[in-house]
Amino acid sequence: MSAGGVTAARERGIQERHLRLGEIELSVQSELPEVLEDLDVLYAAYQAPSCRTGVIRLEARAGPWSPRRGRQFVVRADGAAIYGPHPRNEVYPILEFSINGRVIATRSQFLQVHAATLARNGAALMLAGGSGVGKSTLAAGLLARGWTYFCDEFALLDPQTLCVHPFPKALSIKAGSFEIIRQLGLPLWRRRHYSKHFKGPVGYIRPPGSTRPRATPCPVRQMVFPRYAAECEPALRPMPRAAAAMTLARCTLNHHAFGVRVMPILCALVRGAECFELDAGPI
Amino acid sequence: MPEWTAPDWVASDAVLPAPQRRRAIREEPLDDECILVDSRTGDAHRLNATALLIWRGCDGQSTTREIAARLAAAFDVDLDDALAHVEQVLAALTEADLFEPASPA
């Protein structure tokens, strides 16, 4: 089957999409119509007419075919294969994940922290922590309440101004939060996506487009460190700034690019913010 | 891990020089705590208020008993308890390689 299906896709040819997400510019090439459609649906408001130099270039392309697994697909970034081969329904989540990897590897003008980031009244909130603590779900909750969306995965921090910069990727939602997202009234783009990396289905929330004002860089005034525990009651507790700085250091994604400057930057950041621990629970 | 026991000198009048802070260590004060950043490696160490007082007493001149006396006065604790705490913190800071090497006798 699939060999014929892929051949048909190939005959339709490779297409390219240019995106501008804040200050990050992307070029994505693919011969897979569903990948192009996903990009068109999720990033309709972020299509750019062309990309300048210095963009992140990604490709989602057909890879090897085997009698047992059928056609497999490969994601290439800036000319090098970084993920694959994978089955077709994993391509889009891996493409999204590849964007993260390339931003970490190439955007060293920012100190990058693993955190969802939103803002209200010109002040940013970071929800910092590793995978699975609930960053994206909490970000979706604030998005539904009118906060300005920056990102569900990265805080891109200018080390000089300590302002966070927007990088409005689609929010990536795991299956355990699908019902919460439905209750929040946010449309979830979810068709065939499956990510082995996340061990299950994922869906996406389109970043706000023309209906809301675009995010602009702003200072971080609140930091929350969520912890998900299914049985616990939601609770928000003040956190000492020194503890917050140490925890943030463990959440930095491009520590290597800043070396000994990381901790002074993070200490300056937490001095300007209120810090909290959050037991998210069944929030 | 064996339980820590106070050395004999704690309750005695022994006077021991405290080590000296490394010049390569940068302090980042945060409220009543502090993060020490080792500029050689980037390693960071969080000090609470009592550990910070002890750290700042490590000037290569003050004795452990003098530092403990400051700690006891600042936090209203018994001198022997303060001495025990000083010893524990100095051991941890030594383990983290935050002191200048001892000069030869």
Edge-first strand listing for the sheet containing B33-38: B25-30, B33-38, B44-47
Q: Categorize the per-residue pLDDT at B104 as very low, low, confident or very high, splitting at 50, 70 and 90.
A: low
pLDDT of residue A232: 80
A101 lies in the same domain as A123: no
Q: What is the pLDDT of residue A228?
A: 81
Q: Are residues A51 and A156 in the same domain?
A: no
Residues A157, A82 share a domain: no
pLDDT value of position A233: 84
Q: For the purposes of burial, counting CB atoms within 10 Å of the CB of A240, is it exposed (0-12), middle (13-18) or buried (19 or more)?
A: middle
Residues A137 and A28 in one domain: no
Mention every residue, 6+ apart, whose C-beta is less than 8 A from residue A159: A110, A111, A258, A261, A265
Whether residue A70 sits in one domain with residue A24 = yes
Do A96 and A134 reside in the same domain of the chain?
no
- pLDDT of res. A231: 77
Report the CATH number that the domain containing residue A231 is assigned in CATH. Answer: 3.90.228.20
Assigned domain for A256 exists: yes
Q: Is residue A126 part of a domain?
A: yes
The answer to the question of residue A194 being in a domain is no
In a domain, A31, yes or no: yes
| Tokens (6 digits) for B52 | 């910070």
pLDDT recorded at residue A9 = 43
Q: What gap in Å lies between CA A196 and CA A136, rounded to an integer? A: 18
Structural domains counted in chain A: 2
Q: What is the pLDDT of residues B8-19, one digit of tens each?
A: 544 455 567 789
Nearest in space to B27 (alpha carbons), one of A223, A263, A259? A263
pLDDT of residue A20: 92
User: DSSP assignment, residue B99?
Assistant: B
Same domain, A264 and A154: yes
Q: Which residue in the set A260, A270, A271 is minimally distant from B37, CB to CB?
A: A260
Cα B12 versus chain centre, distance: 19
Q: Does B77 have pLDDT greater than 80?
A: yes
**Same domain for A128 and A97:** no
Most B CBs within 10 A among A263, A265, A266, A269, hence the mutation to make, goes to A263
Domain that holds residue A57: 2-106
Same domain, A228 and A160: yes
Q: Which residue has the tokens 């006077």?
A: B15
Write b or e for each residue in B49-85: b if 16 or more Cβ atoms lie within 10 A of its Cβ, otherwise e.
ebbbbbbebbeeebebbebbbbbbeeeeeeeeebbbb
B94 contact A CB<8A: no
Averaged pLDDT score across all residues of chain B: 87
d(CA A197, CA A189): 19
Question: With b meaning 16 or more CB within 10 Å and e meaning fewer, what string describes B29-40?
Answer: ebeebbbbbbbe
Name the minimum distance, in Å, from the CA of B99 to any CA of chain A: 18
CA-based nearest distance B7→chain A, Å: 31
What was the pLDDT predicted at A7? 40
In a domain, A125, yes or no: yes
Radius of gyration of chain A, Cα coordinates, nearest whole angstrom: 19
Burial of B25 (0-12, 13-18, 19+ CB in 10 A): buried
Q: Report CA dihedral (B99, A251, A214, A19) to the nearest 10 degrees.
A: 120
Q: Report the 10 Å Cβ neighbour count for B98.
A: 21
A100 and A119, same domain (yes or no): no
Spatial separation of the C-alpha atoms in residues B18 and B5, rounded to whole Å: 19
A83 domain-assigned: yes
pTM: 0.87
Q: How many contacts, defined by CB atoms under 8 Å, are there between A and B?
A: 45
Give the count of beta carbons closer than 10 Å to the beta carbon of residue A122: 10
Tell which B residues from 22 to 51 touch A, by Cβ distance under 8 Å: 26, 28, 30-31, 33-35, 37-42, 44, 46-48
Residue B103 has what DSSP assignment? P
Judge if A45 and A62 occupy the same domain: yes
Q: What is the mean pLDDT of each run of 10 residues along chain A (283 residues)?
A: 41 83 93 92 89 83 81 87 80 91 94 97 96 92 95 96 97 92 93 70 88 82 91 90 98 94 97 95 67
Examine residue A159 and state whether it is found in any structural domain, yes or no.
Answer: yes
Residue A89 lies in a domain: yes
Q: Which residues of B touch A267 (CB under 8 A)?
A: 28, 30, 35
Q: List residues bridging with A164 in a β-sheet.
A: A157, A218
A115 and A222 in a single domain? The answer is yes
**ipTM, 2 dp:** 0.83
What chain B holds in terms of domains, given with CATH numbers, is 22-95 (1.10.10.1150)
- CB of A156 closer than 8 Å to CB of A110: yes
